[in-house]
């Protein structure tokens, strides 16, 4: 394999392990991983992850490749049927819908972060990677009427520098690390659900109005 392919495979396997997977793994654990991420990632990405994990698994066990097991094949067939093998066309969020989402959110730590995230993403047309790496200076172009959202979040999170959008655990403790791209996708789907929209029709690209 080319070095670039080796690096990609290693990154995919590390992602699987961080999720809670183990190498060597079993088909049951692998399909749970693929199913869980089928709601936020493209079919092509899932196929690459499958190839990466299959390769790592085979190197350790030298047994029947995971990719040929009936459970994995059936799962991938169902995922492909549900989301398609091509990149899905997503529905764009309107200004009115974004404002409606903001009005639905309260004043909790998590709500303050999410208000800023969806408004900044929509107003500044920020991609997933931009939101993950965004700093205070990146949001300087927010319209004055949204400045209070930025100030509210920076104050409650006590952020002076570094990434703005941080992970928050179930105890409302704010991490010093930036939120992941997967985390951004999950938040967006949860937010559109608040106003009765079907989350399967929306992704982070919905912010790129």
Q: Tell which residue, 193, 186, 33, 102, has the closest CA to residue 204.
A: 186
Q: Tell which residue, 16, 31, 32, has the closest CA to residue 74.
A: 31
Q: Tell which residue, 62, 59, 81, 79, has the closest CA to residue 71.
A: 79
pLDDT score at 2: 41
pTM of the model: 0.59
Cβ partners under 8 Å of residue 103, min gap 6:
none
How far apart CA 128 and CA 182 sit, in angstroms, is 9
- Whether a cis peptide bond, with omega within 30° of 0, leads into 54 is no
pLDDT score at 3: 45
> Is-contact 114 156, C-beta < 8 A?
no
pLDDT score at 90: 66
Low-confidence ranges of the chain (pLDDT < 50): 1-3
pLDDT score at 209: 56
How far apart CA 171 and CA 167 sit, in angstroms, is 11
Q: Where are the domains of the chain?
A: 3-83, 95-207
pLDDT score at 167: 92
pLDDT score at 153: 95
How is 141-168 classified by DSSP, letter by letter? TS-GGGHHHHHHHHHHHT--SS-SSEEE
How is 172-200 classified by DSSP, letter by letter? -PEEEEEPPHHHHHHHHHHHHHHTT--GG
CATH of 95-207, one of 3.40.190.10, 1.10.443.10, 1.10.3720.10, 3.40.50.10090: 1.10.443.10
> Is-contact 110 167, C-beta < 8 A?
no
């Amino acid at each position: 394999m080319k070095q670039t392919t080796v690096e990609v495979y290693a990154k995919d396997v590390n992602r699987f392990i961080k999720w809670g997977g183990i190498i060597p793994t079993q088909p049951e654990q692998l399909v749970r991983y693929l199913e869980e991420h089928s709601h936020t990632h493209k079919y092509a990405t899932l196929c690459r992850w499958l190839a990466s994990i299959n390769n790592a698994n085979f190197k350790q066990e030298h047994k029947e490749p995971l990719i040929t097991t009936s459970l994995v094949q059936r799962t991938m067939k169902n995922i492909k049927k549900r989301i398609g093998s091509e990149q899905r066309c997503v529905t764009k969020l309107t200004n009115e819908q974004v404002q409606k989402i903001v009005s639905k959110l309260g004043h909790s730590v998590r709500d303050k972060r999410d208000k800023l995230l969806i408004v900044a993403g929509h107003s500044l047309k920020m991609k997933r990677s931009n939101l993950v790496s965004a700093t205070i200076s990146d949001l300087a172009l927010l319209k004055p009427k949204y400045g209070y959202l930025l100030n509210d979040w920076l104050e409650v999170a006590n952020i002076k520098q570094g990434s703005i959008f941080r992970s928050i655990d179930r105890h409302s403790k704010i991490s010093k690390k930036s939120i992941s791209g997967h985390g951004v996708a999950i938040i967006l789907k949860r937010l559109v659900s608040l106003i009765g929209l079907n989350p399967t029709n929306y992704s982070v690209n919905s912010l790129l109005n």
